[in-house]
Chain A
Amino acid sequence: MEHFAETGTIGPVYITFPNMTLAQKGHSLLESAGVSAVLVRVPRDLARMGCGFGLRLDRRGGKAAALLRDGGVLFSRAFLRKPDGSFEELSL
């Protein structure tokens, strides 16, 4: 399980997906484009309908979102984790 307790740094960025399969498809696409991402179970705050999976990236959400869109991989939303541990939704 990925942990989300780290604080004090900006980021990371979380991109959420409707399901595990699309998160995996997005992960595969980003990795092949040289964008490192970690497939994680997203924090409850980001999964409003419960049980969500997503990708955690190191502050390159804009590029990742563009790659996903170009690759036709549907993602739900994107968030920046702030130093205080809260999440801010991003418009990517």
Chain B
Amino acid sequence: MIYLDHAATSMGKPESVRRRVLWAMEHCANPGRGGHRPAMDAAEAVFSCRKTAGAFFGAEPEQVAFTSNCTHGLNIAIRTLVHPGDRVVVSGFEHNAVTRPLTALKAQIRVAGRRLFDWDDTLASFEKALSEGAEAAVFTYVSNVFGYILPVEDMGRLCRRYQVPFIIDAAQAAGSLPVDLKALGADFIAMPGHKGLLGPQGTGILLCGAMPEPLIYGGTGSLSAQQRMPDFLPDRVEAGTLNVPGICGLEAGIRYVRGLTPEKINRRETSQVQRAAAGIRALGLPVYTGAHQAGVVSFVTKNCEETAELLGTMGICVRAGLHCAPLAHESAGTLETGTVRVSFDHNADERQTRALLEGLSRLSRQGRI
């Protein structure tokens, strides 16, 4: 099998991740509740992940809140900063994890910057929208459909200049691009644990540069006699039992990524993206590439869903459709067709790209794409 759907979730987790999940299932009770050994072991394991993640992402351990996925973190962040009717600036490449919560809140969504791989357009449009007034901004670091790496540092600078609090969706960036809460100055940065960080599914991190509002209310193991949620981190947004096996696996994943370094992972992924894009273009298919591209590339065939299905029968796993990001497709002009998306991981190599291109060549010869 050639798995090229890492933008959805990573597969082939490191052995250290599997070992750590198993260890937690065998040794850990409920962290922050009892004071007995298995509970304290669990608490120690959870704190260890907070420290590791905090050091990796420029945050204090308590600023690392564990979530069940990136969407969960984005919902907490959005519901903290955005109120009904607020004007919210977003990029033209947002996922439904951003636009649906904003829609549910009846926010006035201002889309800024729709040209792919064009930082000048992104920044100019973004600044114009901020200058017209906004209560918050939410933007993705990397488009999950096209791999476009947005100029998030400069976008953050603009937000600070216009005194607009902001949230970064780092779903496709964490693990392969620098993510630093202090350096970016964001109010919140949300990320999944199961994609570029190689942790188990059901894990995520919300880096809190500001005090979040709870999304879920309940027990935290602190201030139990009080009926209000604690007003300190991370308890305020961590009601209920944590996913300790997942968190333990996530720490192992972060350590693995840290060892490889995001820089090397990014180089490896983008080199295959460029190779794949050149091969796809040679087949006469529209392919979306440009400067500032991460390990994701999209292309269009006469029937994207069918193409993905046919590749699947050859053991090549890619994803077709809208990828839960209709706004991104609207910006790129692919809302009607969708795209076929190919996404690489830290193990990206020529063998994978060659298999993809051979599969597409076969379909092309058969006149099926």
Q: How far is the CB of B356 from chain A (nearest CB, A)?
A: 44
> Is B314's beta carbon under 8 Å from chain A?
no
Check: A45 CB closer than 8 A to any chain B CB.
Answer: no
Tell me, rounded to whole Å, the shortest Cβ–Cβ distance linking A4 to chain B: 11
Distance (whole angstroms) from the CB of B251 to the closest CB of chain A: 14
Distance between Cα atoms of A52 and B36 in the complex (Å) = 14
Docked complex: B62-83 residues within 8 A CB-CB of A: 62
- Quick check: A21 and B233 within 8 Å, CB to CB? yes
Q: Find chain B residues with CB under 8 A from A67 CB.
A: none
Question: A33 contacts which chain B residues (CB < 8 A)?
Answer: none
- In the complex, the answer to whether B35 meets A20 with C-beta atoms within 8 Å is no
User: Which segment, of A5-13, A22-30, A58-66, A79-87, faces chain B?
Assistant: A22-30
A residues in contact with B235, CB < 8 Å: 18-19, 21
Q: Check A1–B35 contact: CB distance below 8 A.
A: yes
Query: Which residues of A (39-56) have their CB < 8 Å from a CB of B?
Result: 39-41, 48-53
Are B62 and A49 in contact (CB-based, < 8 A)? no
**Set of chain B residues within 8 Å of A25, measured between Cβ atoms:** 47, 60-62
Q: Is the pair B224, A50 in contact by a Cβ cutoff of 8 Å? A: yes
A28, A49, A52, A74: the one within 8 Å of B51 (CB): A28
Q: Contacts A28-B51, A39-B40: A18 and B221 contacting too (C-beta < 8 A)?
A: no
Check A51 against B35 for contact (C-beta < 8 Å): no
A residues neighboring B (CB under 8 Å): 1-2, 18-22, 24-25, 28, 39-41, 48-53, 74
CB closest chain-B residue, reference A18:
B232
B residues engaging A (CB < 8 A)?
31-36, 40, 43-44, 47, 50-51, 60-62, 220-226, 230, 232-235
Partner of B32, one of A2, A20, A48, A49: A20
CA distance A19 to B62 in the complex (A): 10
Are B47 and A24 within 8 A (Cβ)?
yes
**Once the chains are docked, how many angstroms separate the CA of A48 from the CA of B224?**
9
> Are A20 and B226 closer than 8 Å at their CB atoms?
no
- Interchain CB contact under 8 A, B35 and A2: yes
Q: Are B232 and A19 in contact (CB under 8 A)?
A: yes
Given contacts A21-B62, A22-B62, A24-B44, contact A51 B221 (CB under 8 A): yes
Q: By the criterion CB–CB under 8 Å, are B62 and A50 in contact?
A: no
CB pair B225–A49 under 8 Å, yes or no, is yes
Contact partner, A20, options B36, B43, B224, B225, Cβ 8 Å? B43
Closest to A19 in B: B222
Q: Choose one: B32, B61, B232, B234; the contact of A53 (CB below 8 Å).
A: B32
